[in-house]
Structure 1
């Protein structure tokens, strides 16, 4: 149980950034902050089947319901639109204290369950769009955005690896379902399978979400000296490559820097490429003449590497730098598109599996990098809203990687589609070279260790605050 009241201090550094120190996670929510890594991770695993399992499930739905390839992938595209669209308004409502993190998760659980219950029990395409694409997309989006932002809020001093770890659950959590959809998912039993998947998501997300709670604004772990962390390379190994935001930016301030729109544009492009690879690797494997085990395994490898790669790049970005790692990942994503096309064209099994591995890494590792880059550039206080704005790029990327990509395949074949995907991924990588942290000039890190006389004394003010009870 949390204590009735706890003392905290607000410490201001010479840039004007405020750190709220003194309250432990147990004071605030009655448990350690490690819970806010494991619970979001489990919830992300539960809803991952929406995005990463669809390519393995769509053929059975086409046969059972008489849907076309275009129908099934427009369902996936509209799902991606609503999954991305909900991030910004949900983040805004959370930061204005209109809804709590727990409420967002419980609503997400119900909507996610409805998504699968709908396609399990009706062949009506309109109902499928409303239930699966709209409500299912909203549900998965609420879960995704809440989980990612929760980690950033509770681990402001070491968000890279933890954000990547939680984000990874959104990919490899689908692996068991990929094999289920490939082997025991047929017109005779698909309805039972889909209903069970919907029930699993509903229960798992409800249980995890019940324990969610945001920390107060500007919260900082009391065991870490914020002024030393923001200026001492010895205490903060990531500092040289990932300096903390110079202040807390509101959404409009973040937009006016020009950096948030640039992140958004990069994510539009690479998000479309990623969803194209996820959606069409299984159909391309079938067209290339590979058997069901290879088809399922290539999708499973993509999901596993996609998820573990997100954790790896989070750790790597703490050492190489968030922007530098992002550029590298996008170049790998571009190379993967050309590699999959080549391997499928020459019907080489081992090359195809290898490039499925590379595609898995490149098609998801950029998400935690953007998730960590946003608070690095704009601060944690408005992270749910600021990241929601950036993540809304998936609105357009989802359309490009699903319905539009299906049209490109019909018109140009898989060759034209994969060449186009690889080319625009290179464009996204080039755009990342122009990212710069707002308000910070070269050499500012050294300046922070010897602040000017007028700012050499950090402003420290003590307060006693009554903690809010569980929401």
Structure 2
């Protein structure tokens, strides 16, 4: 008697459980990046250093998170997501615990920057790569949902960290929250698993998807990949030029402590930003699943450029500062759902984790240009106009590339495969 090896359709319950666990893992590693702006002043006072030197820590975090991601992606493909993502969550939390004990910049670079970057990189690439495999029909939504965990996870910690810093000081805050992050991430990672090769689901009816499964080496030989890489690097640079400096320029504008809706403007803006930065990822991912990746990119990137322009023009208005900060983050955060889903649509899902690891390196490029360079530009010019001007220009250029270069090029590429 012959047994037919028929594909198995994954149950909806299983994949949504995976999505929830991935979201929790992402939330557990979000604070090292998104709460960093609250830590800059106490760290600078403790170590007696300037902003530019201190921001190297933030850049190291992003660089190590991104530049090692291809290697981490291959490890995840080989040893499985549960084991590697568990290690990543532990390393991320441990970076805060160790940073609470350091007394110099070198120690901070190694603990917060390097160790934290390696840990968050493993988790980020692993979870996103896992979700685009579990959800072939809702790739943008799934990638956006777990990326939202990374963007919105800090909503739960922004005010507790700020209150803890005021009440108990820097060392206690880093130690306590680092331990909590490790525990939460470790528990959630134990339920993660990769979909079986024979588990399939019909491809999207709305977005063209590759029938060929490109390995990383094959993908890197395609100029189309490098266009996506350049576009994501440009958008990453634009966003990080302002998000990593937000507390500083809010104080320079004289509105950081102005009361808006019963709260200080800066922490209120940071909380709103976490929400919109998380909301935009599944929302624009969902829209792109229905109406196309490139059209969605054009709308989102142009929206950020317009919002930044208005933000700079109304910099002395605390209410508009808070509201427009939310719009800026709303137009930036979706890069973490649109680019991984577009990449997987184009080059296949079998090697999605390792492939996205290569694309995610563009975030490291953005951190080099968006962190210390923006701080140096501010120091030499004495103002924020040049910083904002560069970020706005990058937004509009990338929006144009999405609609008038990426879209026709990718259409031709997919037709050649067919």
> Common fold, TM-score beyond 0.5?
yes
Q: 1:30-429 to 2 correspondence within 5 Å?
A: 32-95=14-77, 97=78, 99-186=79-166, 189-217=169-197, 219-221=199-201, 226=202, 229=203, 236=205, 239=206, 242-292=207-257, 293-344=264-315, 347-412=316-381, 413-429=383-399
Give SS of 2:277's match: helix
User: Per the alignment, do residues 22 and 218 of structure 1 end up closer, same or farther by CA in structure 2, a change over 3 Å counting?
Assistant: closer
Gaps of 5+ in 2: 258-263
SS in 2 for 1:33: helix
Q: Give the match's secondary structure for 1:216.
A: coil
Once residues 53 and 32 of structure 2 are traced to their aligned partners in structure 1, the CA distance between those partners, rounded to angstroms, is 16
Q: 1:359: how far off?
A: 1.0
Identify if the C-alpha distance between structure 1 residues 390 and 423 changes in structure 2 by more than 3 Å, giving closer, same or farther.
same
Q: How many residues align?
A: 405
8 Å Cα contact 2:240-2:366 kept in structure 1? yes
- Name the CA shift for 1:109/1:128 in 2 (closer, same or farther; >3 Å): same
Q: Assess if the C-alpha contact under 8 Å between 1:8 and 1:22 holds in 2.
A: no
Q: Any conservation in 2 of the 1:250–1:382 contact (CA below 8 Å)? A: yes
For the Cα contact (< 8 Å) 1:121–1:191, is it kept in 2?
Answer: yes
TM-score between both structures, scaled by the size of structure 1: 0.81
Conserved 8 A contact 1:120-1:194: yes
For residues 182 and 338 of structure 1, the distance between their equivalents in structure 2, rounded to whole angstroms, comes to 29
- What is the distance in 1 between the residues matched to 2:275 and 2:288? 20
Shift of residue 386, structure 1, vs aligned partner: 1.3
Q: Compared with structure 1, are the counterparts of its residues 76 and 7 closer, same or farther at alpha carbon in structure 2 (3 Å cutoff)?
A: farther
TM (norm. structure 2) is 0.91
Note if contact 1:80-1:398 (Cα within 8 Å) is conserved in structure 2. yes
Q: Distance in 2 between matches of 1:329 and 1:218?
A: 36
Native 8 Å contact 1:246 1:440 kept in 2? no
Mapped to 2, the partners of 1:310 and 1:139 lie a distance apart of 22
Secondary structure at 1:290's aligned position in 2? Answer: coil
Deviation at 1:25, TM superposition (A): 5.9
Q: Larger % of helix: which?
A: 2
